[in-house]
Amino acid sequence: MTQFEIRFQPDGRRINVEQGISVLEAINLTGIDLVSLCGGKGICGKCKIIIEKGEIKESLTEKEKEFLTKDQIDENYRLACRIRVFNNLIIRIPEASRTGKQKLQIEGIKAPVKVEPLIKKLFIQLKKPSLDEPKSDIDRLNDYILKKFGISKLKFNFNALKSLGTVIREDNYKFTVCIWNNSEIITIEPGDTTEKIFGYSVDIGTTKLAGYLIDLINGEVLAAGGLMNPQIRFGEDVISRIAYKDPQQMHDVVIEGLNELLIDLTNRVSIDLENIYEMTAVGNTCMHHLFLNLDAKQLGYSPYVPVIRNGLSVKNNKIGMNINRFGKIYTLPVVAGFVGADTIGVILASEIYKRDELCMALDIGTNTEVVLGNKERILACACASGPAFEGAHIKFGMRAANGAIEKIKINPETLEPTYYTIDNAKPRGICGSAIVDIPAEMLKTKIIDLRGKINKNLESDRIRQGDNGYEYVLVWGRDSFSKRDITICQKDIGEIILAKAAMHTGTEILMQKFGVKGDDIDNLFIAGAFGTHIDIENARMIGIYPEISLDKVKRIGNAAGTGSRMCLVSKTMRKLAEEISKRIEYIELAVQPNFQNVFLNSHYLPYADLARYPITIEFLKKIGNYSEKKIRIFKNDFES
């Protein structure tokens, strides 16, 4: 097969690839962090690269014409997924096309947990065997452990068994056994190593990985950190990951990422990887399956069936983490194809499962999980909210990285905006927390109506006719990083409303199923990075969650990660996790008879049936943007 060389600028990397593969595939081979939201289907338009040298066979496709500006076309921009390699090439990856370093949510709620890890170490001092008592090594060891520690019927990890004869004799019959779940000896070490016993707990997000290094003696977090999920270069959403042609590679890269994070954390506190004996992991069902290297294909099509629901303990040698090779890995149970182990983590961390009062929890992302319940009953559903709040499908959307606008206020008199960027850098785009502000601030200032339609009649040069209908200029080119105006167009608002409509449908249907209204909810937990940064009033105003008193809204940070940590240090928590996953009633929204109706009515801000939103009515009255007629219209929609 003919091979060609591609050089990448400014990275200076080179790669030889086979003739005919797509440039996107070639870039993915290098590990360069090119954004590709759709995974190479040519529909997201994010994988823009510049051909500096070398000929491309394919002439400009219709898709490329759609996503590339005239200037970009002149500068030899192409979409990497649309073109193939038939020559040696020199390619430049523009900064704007990179996933870049991101703010990651690592901290989560702290739920008090008794430290009772499954892993424990026992120091053993055996009597030397003699001809009078020539018992087998294992029999002598078991007798000793029973007598001294009261533990019986221990199984032996076969790999530990293989070296037993040598190891116990190495330090004159003094050694340490590492026991899992009071049932299995997973490894033995010469001498006394009982002080060295650590665990690693992770939250595998579609976008980010969060990791925690834990001392299993006292449960303390020794180090915590985050990293982009390196799978991201194969596509940003779970569907791209599931559909990727090589699932083994998808598994391998996430393991690589988790190992990279692990090594970083252990280096920070000088801990030996061999002394990490257990790991726990949460993630959505797709991440969970890819991490375990289970078949994930069927998660991509209806009825989205996971291979396994239960929590799973596997030996590390099946997975390949850099913890002790005889260590154990526990994945929390999942609930359904789109309600994963991360949701179980959120329920553990928020303690919904044991509360008297009614709680709702939202874990907002491309896929948003909604949980509603208390100690009696728990319902959960998944909403296909899409990646709008992560910046995708929004013209100037970006993720929470340097230069991202993360907060917006609009002056109702002047319609002039105030905004804040990450690192106070020159604005490059708009990230999730500010994306929530957009419709809320525009609604408050009457720039849009309850349907999200831009009012073209307002007196402001910031409201103008754009390429795709009317738009609002948030940042003038003179102030922006790229020197281009950063705008919010009618289509952007539509995308945001679509995303919030999906979530609203989930919360609404769960409440109907439970037989409660927004008023009945005593706690509303918002998990995840998004929840940590949003303006909760604006979020309520646009209908991301039911209209409840703001003092009931609690941000719980990376609660999925907290749940993972709880299960690392506590046997009881694992049992609870298993029970919860069985108890939860999973509600499949798509098969609910009123799904279409609720979804359509959710396209209003905050909802067609305004009667249940007295705070909004009050506000609309205040700004003189309310009429009974409007409500009637919406009611008709609602009842239709």
Least distance to a copy of itself, CB of residue 403, Å: 42
Query: Rounded to the nearest whole angstrom, what is the least distance from the CB of residue 294 to a copy of itself in the complex?
Result: 6
Strands, E assignment, 41-183: 48-53, 77-79, 89-92, 119-125, 155-156, 174-180
Instruction: List the structure tokens of 100.
Output: 């870049």
Q: Looking at beta carbons only, is 265 or 339 nearer to a copy of itself? A: 339
Query: Smallest distance, Å, CB 583 to a copy of itself?
Result: 14
Of 188 and 349, the one with the shorter C-beta distance to a copy of itself is 188
Q: Strand, coil or helix: what is 228?
A: strand
Considering beta carbons, is residue 104 or 118 the nearer one to a copy of itself?
118
What residues pair up with 9 in beta bridges, in sequence order?
A: 92
Tell me whether strands 486-489 and 3-9 are parallel, antiparallel or unpaired. Answer: unpaired
Helix, strand, coil share of the chain (percent; to 5) = 40, 25, 35
Take residue 116 and report the two structure tokens written for it: 């009772």
Neighbours of 136 (CB within 10 A): 11
Shortest Å, Cβ 382 to a copy of itself: 11
Phi, psi (rounded to 5 degrees) for 121: -120, 140
Q: Which is nearer to a copy of itself, 49 or 250 (CB)?
A: 250
For the bound state, the minimum distance from the C-beta of residue 189 to a copy of itself, rounded and expressed in Å, comes to: 15
The pair phi, psi for residue 531, each rounded to 5°, is -60, -30
In sequence order, what are the residues at sequence separation of 6 or more whose Cβ sits closer than 8 angstroms to the Cβ of residue 55? 86, 87
Residue 357 Cα distances to 108, 275, 374, 524, 610, angstroms? 22, 42, 6, 11, 26
**Cα 640 → chain centroid:** 37
Of the two residues 339 and 388, which places its CB atom closer to a copy of itself in the complex?
339
CB nearer to a copy of itself: pick between 578 and 637: 578
For residue 254, the surrounding DSSP H or E stretch is helix 247-269
1 versus 131: smaller Cβ distance to a copy of itself: 131
Nearer to a copy of itself, 303 or 412 (CB): 303
| 26 membership: H or E segment, kind and range | helix 23-30
CA gap 20, 465 in Å, rounded: 42
Half-sphere exposure of 373 (CA within 13 A, CB side): 24
Q: Please report how close the Cβ of residue 163 comes to a copy of itself at its closest, in angstroms.
A: 7
In whole angstroms, the minimum distance from the beta carbon of 128 to a copy of itself comes to 9
In contact, 562 and 108? CB cutoff 8 Å: yes
- What are 196's two structure tokens? 């060295």
What's the closest the beta carbon of residue 162 comes to a copy of itself, in angstroms?
A: 6
- Minimum distance between the CB of residue 534 and a copy of itself, rounded to whole angstroms? 31
Nearer to a copy of itself, 24 or 188 (CB): 188
What residues make contact with a copy of itself under the rule CB under 8 A? Answer: 129-139, 156, 158-159, 161-166, 169, 292-298, 302-310, 312, 314-315, 318, 334, 336-337, 586, 588, 590-591
